[in-house]
Structure 1
């Protein structure tokens, strides 16, 4: 890929290699080479391609992973906030929290502390959980937007 930032930690460098092997384009944050961004696809909703943003701090093992640009609301309401509460209370959405940004964008955030040698494996697991949790609720999100 065309990413020339070389100052990344080992985990992000290894994750970049995984993305390169899969032919997935990504961007690194110009101010922080330990933050990477790329698009993903929700499994059951063709054309829904939110951004994945991953930041990993190797010193303390802090992982922040977000799906952004999932959907945008012009106006929130009780149905939307109930959906957010249901999502956040769902134990199947392990470590995932849904937020509605002030601009109306829906994001799903996952934070974890990872203290393991194979960080990439755990990043991929958290990413799968995040994507599947979002996919599970996306139909309801689309229904609320359509109202």
Structure 2
């Protein structure tokens, strides 16, 4: 009977030691996981801030390049309109009226594009634009539309005098 009790005591002691040892390891693993989660969370926050800064820097650089190209194109269009106005003087009276109306419309469109560009530049300067993942797509859309409008004005100017005055 003593042997049975002794064997039972040894088994209970071994089982208790095993359970207590596993419980301690689980607690340490839980602490380690919790610390890793905190570090990972901090890394994610830092990564999000870095990404936002990178997006802002990229969008600003692209905007400056686009703004310079657009201002040059607008200036060239203004010069072309002035040149065409002087060239128009050799046209007949009826043709001159028609061309004047068309040039005035193109000049108004060009002025509207100047204002649109200036307004967008002011938004950048004042920091009104929020910089996130969609900002780059929005800016590309704006640039695409603006370039399309500028191309339309340029094509209209070329077509205006193609057949009329040489």
TM class by shorter-chain length? 0.3 to 0.5
| TM-score, normalised via structure 1 length | 0.39
Higher relative contact order (CA 8 A, sep 6+): 2
- Higher percent of residues as strand: 1
- Higher percent of residues as helix: 2
Higher-Rg structure is: 2
